[in-house]
A and B are shown apart, each in its own frame.
Chain A
């Protein structure tokens, strides 16, 4: 990885809400094609960090660089236009609409001369994408609410993949899923590596973190405890970093 420019580079990020410190001196470089897990207890600052990267909050101080350029996102739309996509915990899908309209939600394709929706092209592109990513749904025209939880998660991730050119943020992607569906979603996330996207994943499941990630970044009460390469650490170390309690040797 040395030698390539980080997709996203966070340096000395501070965030305070009305003087209460939420994130203190956080630095992290994300490289294309790698999956970094962000772990920590509730209230450790994971969501705040995600919201700063996705443009919902702006840091109190510190710099955010996107492929080397310093950036400051005014809102989530501007982060999105720079190639950063978020898969929210609630998935942000419109349940009564077909899959293809969700895939293009807010970015619908139109055709000349009257600027009417190009439903056929949206449907085809959606079908091609879900086939390519092996998200198994009956069809691109299926209504979201007729799909299972795993299929919905697959759609949300496929949508992010379609639009992200640089980075995908995944917030607890399998929290609501069963075992088999979790495995399928993990396979899907792992396949995104090959698309040269950087992926930052929040997860409470350490098993999942160890299965998926290349590196693990630990937060505790707004402080960055450390970053470990997944192959060079173990659960005990990560747990003690999360909790601050050293496991008996």
Chain B
């Protein structure tokens, strides 16, 4: 009984709300949209496929927020990396294209990270600026043109392909979440990320290289956005400057709802996965309900507001 009580006491609303919210919304759609095909395996798989890029960006953001930083630029990075891969693959083999896409993401992330870690600038402002900067660069890269991605190995690997009948986007999601979760929870790097976000001075006097941790998390955000860009390009078989444009709110909401603290020191990669799936489910359910785009935006905004309010409620005690 005391154990049960302790468990109850230690139940963390901020971390736990995602499980309840996820189940509640799933059940709601399962019941109300049963006849509209919400529960079909095809529809459910579709949700996972559509959320794959957002989930991977969310993992990067969990690390950044946990370290007390934020990345607002990842949406623009998605476009730059997808376009880089697409343009390079017009002339070079696939591996070079992949390297170009991931490299662009990592390079932009490292640029953000260096300005924050060694330029001692706030990440909010740095990435707000680079969000605009790289959105502009994405537009000029191909003069607003969409670049087709015709390499079938590429579109298979990052889009429509399957391995043992498991879609490649599901595999990418599983790999990213698995690695992200282990690094976050079970490595010294993960521990240092949390320590820096929790109390940077304590981390510093404990010998943790605070600046390096900040560089790493923002570089990771860039790398995740780079991979997300490849997934978009693979699934849509084209790259365009608009890719990733609308992901900022979705990804931040997914991460916060998933139990990651906005002010650092606490978070969850699994929570971010569920948060991302929740956003995808909302999207999907509201479309099946027949809401038009403006109603969808309103309902989604309200639900996110509610979820964020619940998950952030007790942080300021």
- Tell me the A residues contacting B by CB distance below 8 Å: 76-77, 80, 86, 88, 90-97, 101, 105-108, 110, 115-117, 119
Q: Is the interface of B mostly helix, strand, loop or mixed?
A: helix
How near does chain B come to A147, taking the closest CB pair, in angstroms? 14
How near does chain B come to A103, taking the closest CB pair, in angstroms? 11
- A94 proximity list for chain B (CB < 8 A): 194-195, 198-199, 202-203, 265
- B201 proximity list for chain A (CB < 8 A): 90, 92
Question: Does B32 interact with chain A (Cβ within 8 Å)?
Answer: no
- Give the size of the chain B interface in residues (CB under 8 angstroms): 22
How near does chain A come to B151, taking the closest CB pair, in angstroms? 34
Whether A86 and B205, one on each chain, are in contact in the complex, defined by CB atoms closer than 8 angstroms, is yes
- A–B complex contacts, Cβ < 8 Å, 17 sampled: A86-B205, A91-B202, A92-B199, A92-B202, A93-B199, A94-B194, A94-B202, A96-B266, A101-B194, A105-B203, A105-B206, A106-B208, A107-B206, A107-B207, A116-B182, A116-B187, A117-B185
Question: Does B41 interact with chain A (Cβ within 8 Å)?
Answer: no
Whether A106 and B195, one on each chain, are in contact in the complex, defined by CB atoms closer than 8 angstroms, is yes
Beyond the given pairs A96-B194, A115-B188, 11 more chain A to chain B contacts, judged by CB atoms under 8 angstroms and listed by A's residue number, are: A93-B199, A94-B202, A95-B265, A101-B195, A105-B195, A105-B202, A105-B206, A106-B207, A107-B206, A108-B191, A117-B191
The docked-state distance in angstroms from the alpha carbon of A76 to that of B202 is 12
4 closest Cβ contacts across the A-B interface?
Answer: A106-B206, A94-B198, A92-B202, A96-B265
A117-B188, A117-B191 as given contacts; A77 in contact with B199, CB under 8 Å: no
- B266 proximity list for chain A (CB < 8 A): 96
> Closest chain B residue to A91 by CB distance?
B202
Question: Does B192 interact with chain A (Cβ within 8 Å)?
Answer: yes
- B207 proximity list for chain A (CB < 8 A): 76-77, 80, 106-107
A106-B192, A106-B207, A106-B208 as given contacts; A95 in contact with B187, CB under 8 Å: no
> Closest chain B residue to A92 by CB distance?
B202
- A76 proximity list for chain B (CB < 8 A): 205, 207
Question: Does B294 interact with chain A (Cβ within 8 Å)?
Answer: no
- A93 proximity list for chain B (CB < 8 A): 199, 202
The docked-state distance in angstroms from the alpha carbon of A108 to that of B186 is 10
How near does chain A come to B179, taking the closest CB pair, in angstroms? 12
- A106 proximity list for chain B (CB < 8 A): 192, 195, 203, 206-208
